[in-house]
């Protein structure tokens, strides 16, 4: 059936938003107790625990609650308000008072009745909690980004493979038909030979209050800090709204939006680029860092990569205002040029440039040149990427089948690595060469020191 190009284009624009918005009974026996350890029968309900119940964690948890073959039985957080909000949501959904609450993640992962975990902690806790769950034999859905250094990513990848666990990464754009179509057009040569990729995302906020405040009543701040060095509790550190939540932009807790937001469009670049994003990888970049306030991650960046295949990639940060009145005077280098070329842009996106055309995609929809690419018959594509109806649905299906999710661990680590290498590049401010197979910088001892795990406070370690 032929579809009108304009109607189809509008459909793709609408379904992008719907798919990403969606990402926002008595206790039952787990599959293992039924003698099916490692495999859940389609008729069985998957028992789920949730670690990290801030706004993002509660949003994704809502998607689990809406699945008839999943049951959330326990939630974990160190902030009383988050814990009570999520417990109430679970109990209201099932019409009982059975949801258990925890402040210690070791206790919840030790439960033998839980099959899988949603992990949506602050970034500096992602890998430690994920490792605990995997080593306890649980499948995991981990919010993005992965680690705050590459060594953490490697540790989690090793354990996921070792324990044969199902892994889903919170880069939910892969569960949007629009993003999949964009990547399939590229992978099937519909824009000719891929030559270049442009990637951009919102940059970190500058500033951030340095005002020291008492720790909120009931909040286990020491536990929240965990492996990070102690620092006084400051205004907006954990509870600020939007870009005012300053831990997002403090390097002890996160890499900032070069990874926290940048992972989304970068992951689409990896999905669409496929094997062409191979090594050795030449990388160099520069970034802007503001001295005012508590935030210390890049408020703008411009990174250039060249892969062994000859494909090049440019990764830029779109400057944003900070959590204070400090104006952001950073420059988004190619905003005007890309806006004209792709006919419209938002503050994030991925654009593939080929010898015969281009594809630009973001959460608002898809742009194509030539425009009749929108009429391509997807069923004829030789390269068919994983079709995921929604991110949680894909995860649950794979928990049952033991197949790879739409975001398997190896590809997720590679996408995350490109963001982390970008952060290293803007801090080194010179060209470096990355050996993709051996995973280190070639003949660059200083750069390789940045691959070492971040020192953690005792008793925490990988």
- The C-alpha atoms of residue 170 and residue 203 are separated, in whole angstroms, by 19
User: Is the predicted pLDDT of residue 19 greater than 50, yes or no?
Assistant: no
Residue 152 in this model has a pLDDT that exceeds 90: yes
Across the range 249-254, mean pLDDT stands at: 96
> Are the CB atoms for 113 and 37 separated by under 8 Å?
no
Domains of the chain: 21-173 (3.40.50.720), 177-381+409-451 (3.30.360.10)
Residue 37 token pair: 């350890």
Mean predicted confidence (pLDDT) in 347-364: 97
Output the pLDDT for position 13: 47
Q: Which two tokens stand for residue 82?
A: 């988050």
Band of pLDDT at residue 18, cut at 50, 70 and 90: very low
Nearest to 357 by CA among 195, 200, 179: 195
Give CA torsion, residues 354, 359, 360, 361, to 10 deg.
Answer: -130
57-71, 182-196, 320-334: least confidently modelled range: 320-334
Write down the pTM of the prediction.
0.90
Going by pLDDT thresholds of 50, 70 and 90, the confidence category of residue 23 is: very low
User: Would you say 52 and 123 are in contact if contact means Cβ atoms under 8 Å apart?
Assistant: no
Please name the residues in contact with 95: beta carbons below 8 A apart, sequence gap of 6 or more: none
The pLDDT value recorded for residue 41 is 57
CA-CA-CA-CA dihedral for 399, 404, 407, 412, to nearest 10: 110
Percent of the chain with pLDDT over 70: 88
pLDDT at position 2 over 90: no
Strands 365-369 and 358-362: antiparallel
Whole-number pLDDT of residue 20: 53
Averaged pLDDT score across all residues of the chain: 90
Residue 22, pLDDT > 70, answer no
> Which pLDDT does position 43 carry in this prediction?
58
Contact of 420 with 282, CB cutoff 8 Å? no
How far is 260 from 454, CA to CA, in rounded Å? 18
Higher pLDDT, 3 or 240: 240
- Cα(359)–Cα(240) distance, rounded to whole angstroms? 37
Phi, psi angles (nearest 5°) of residue 350: -135, 130
Which single residue is written with the structure tokens 């990403």?
20
Indicate if the pLDDT at residue 243 is higher than 90. no
pLDDT at residue 325 greater than cutoff 90: no
């Amino acid at each position: 059936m032929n579809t009108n190009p304009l109607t189809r284009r509008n459909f793709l624009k609408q379904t992008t938003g719907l798919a990403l918005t969606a990402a926002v009974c008595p206790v039952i026996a787990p599959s293992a107790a039924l003698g099916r350890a490692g495999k859940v029968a389609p008729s069985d309900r998957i028992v789920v625990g949730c670690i990290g119940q801030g706004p993002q964690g509660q949003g994704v948890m809502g998607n689990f609650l809406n699945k008839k073959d999943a049951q959330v039985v326990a939630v974990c957080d160190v902030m009383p308000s988050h814990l009570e909000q999520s417990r109430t949501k679970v109990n209201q959904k099932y019409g009982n008072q059975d949801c258990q609450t925890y402040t210690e993640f070791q206790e919840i992962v030790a439960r033998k009745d839980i099959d899988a975990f949603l992990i949506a902690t602050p970034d500096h806790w992602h890998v430690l909690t994920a490792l605990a769950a995997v080593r306890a034999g649980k499948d995991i859905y981990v919010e993005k980004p992965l680690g705050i250094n590459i060594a953490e990513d490697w540790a989690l990848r090793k354990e996921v493979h070792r324990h044969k666990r199902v892994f889903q990464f919170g880069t939910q754009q892969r569960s949007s038909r629009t993003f999949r179509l964009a990547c399939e057009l590229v992978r099937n040569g519909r824009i000719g030979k891929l030559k270049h990729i442009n990637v951009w995302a919102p940059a970190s906020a500058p500033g951030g209050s340095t005002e020291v405040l008492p720790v909120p009543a009931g909040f286990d701040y020491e536990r929240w800090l965990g492996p990070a060095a102690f620092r006084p509790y400051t205004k907006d550190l954990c509870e600020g709204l939007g870009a005012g939540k300053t831990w997002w932009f403090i390097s002890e807790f996160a890499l900032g939006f070069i990874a926290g937001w940048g992972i989304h469009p970068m992951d689409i670049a990896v999905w669409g680029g496929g094997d062409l994003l191979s090594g050795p990888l030449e990388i160099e970049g520069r970034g802007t860092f503001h001295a005012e306030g508590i935030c210390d991650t890049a408020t703008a960046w411009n990174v250039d990569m060249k892969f062994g295949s000859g494909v090049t990639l440019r990764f830029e940060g779109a400057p944003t205002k900070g959590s204070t009145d400090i104006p952001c005077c950073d420059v988004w280098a190619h905003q005007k040029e890309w806006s004209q070329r792709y006919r419209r842009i938002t503050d994030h996106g991925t654009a593939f440039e080929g010898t015969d055309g281009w594809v630009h995609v973001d959460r608002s929809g898809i742009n194509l040149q030539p425009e009749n690419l929108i009429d391509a018959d997807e069923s004829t594509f030789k390269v068919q990427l994983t079709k995921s109806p929604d991110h949680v649905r894909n995860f649950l299906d794979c928990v049952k089948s033991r197949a790879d999710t739409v975001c398997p661990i190896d590809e997720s680590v590679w996408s995350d690595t490109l963001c982390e290498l970008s952060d290293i590049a803007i801090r080194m401010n010179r060209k470096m060469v990355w050996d993709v197979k051996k995973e280190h910088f070639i003949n660059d001892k200083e750069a390789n020191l940045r691959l070492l795990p971040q020192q953690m406070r005792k008793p925490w370690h990988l």
